[in-house]
Structure 1
Amino acid sequence: MAKPESWRLDAASYPASIELQTRFQDMDINGHLNNVAFAALFESGRVLLNREVRPLIDRPANERTMVAMVEINYLGEGNFPDPVTITSGIGRIGTSSWTIVQAMFQNGRAIASCDTVVVCRTDGQAKPLRAEMVAELTDKLVTPANP
């Protein structure tokens, strides 16, 4: 993953944000947050964003969403016990998928970014997103503060 564009490192670009406490068990042998902790913290941010998209809750019984790809760009070291802020938004809406873009901040600096592709499947096949889901996802698009 290439170095993120500058707007990706500005928390104001994202419509959703959550502060999460780091844990002692998140540390690696060097005393920094390990890569599994980064992934789990980003996952918590994605869950928050997805819960704000109501049509995911009201979806038909035969519709499923699944993560197709996660890409994390480690920009700096994270430390315990300092909390992190995960910012999230929609970066792209496709026909049957969307991309969640995120950044992780600790003590005022960006320490990672993450892109996740989520695919919508109905009856086991990729199907176009429902109009109401597209509308909700559109409301959560990132707005680059420094394009």
Structure 2
Amino acid sequence: MARPDPWRLDPAAYPHTERVQTRFQDLDVLGHINNVGMAAIFETGRVKFNRTVGLEGWRTQRWLVAQVVINYLAEGHFPADVEVMSGIGTIGTRSWTILSTAFQHGVAIATCDTVVVMSSEDGATALPDDFRAALERWQVRDA
């Protein structure tokens, strides 16, 4: 795996920070946060980011997570909290990405790219203009 672009490891690139508490149950037998625990940490950060952006207010719209890619950069440990930095990456016609990086003790330990697709009962649908504008206000810097 190639190292991420340097801006991905810079907390200043992200417009949102969420502190997530680690749990003992997140550890594997080697004593570091396992892949399921890291996915849960990113999910918590993403849900809280969505609330901050105001996406939960779009109850008339429906979106689905289409893809989650996590790249592990360093070990994370309990009991230290993890700071999940998040922002919007690309915005397409019907989808967008949420880019996040997890930091522990100031060190990037993982990145997460989540593709989200706007949906309707008939399938994928275009992003409304005001929804797109809301996403644009939360884009990462230097992406």
Q: TM-score range by the shorter chain?
A: over 0.9
Q: Shift of residue 126 of structure 1? A: 0.5
CA distance in 1, matches of 2:83, 2:56: 24
TM-superposition CA deviations, 1:38-94 (whole Å, max 9, x none): 10000111111211233541342xx31110000000000001111110000001100
Change (3 A) 1:106 1:55: closer
The answer to whether the 8 Å contact 2:50/2:56 transfers is yes
Change (3 A) 1:15 1:77: same
The letter of the residue matching 1:32 is H
CA distance in 2, matches of 1:37, 1:124: 34
3-state SS of 2:140 partner: coil
The letter of the residue matching 2:47 is V
The 5 A counterparts of 1:44-55 are 44-55=44-55
Unaligned runs of 5+ in 1: none
Identity of aligned residues (%): 52
Number of positions where the alignment pairs a residue of Structure 1 with one of Structure 2: 143
Does 1:143 pair with 2:141?
A: yes
Q: So what's the TM-score if we normalise by structure 2?
A: 0.95
Q: So what's the TM-score if we normalise by structure 1?
A: 0.92
Change (3 A) 1:47 1:55: closer
* Structure 2 counterpart of 1:80: 78
The 5 A counterparts of 1:38-77 are 38-60=38-60, 63-77=61-75
* Structure 2 counterpart of 1:8: 8
CA distance in 2, matches of 1:32, 1:77: 6
CA distance in 2, matches of 1:20, 1:54: 20
Where does structure 1 differ by over 2 angstroms across 4 or more consecutive aligned residues?
52-56
* Structure 1 counterpart of 2:108: 110
The letter of the residue matching 1:15 is P
The structure showing larger relative contact order (alpha-carbon pairs under 8 Å, at least 6 residues apart) is 1
The answer to whether the 8 Å contact 1:53/1:133 transfers is no
Q: 1:130 aligns with which of 128, 131, 138?
A: 128
CA distance in 2, matches of 1:101, 1:73: 12
The 5 A counterparts of 1:90-105 are 90-105=88-103
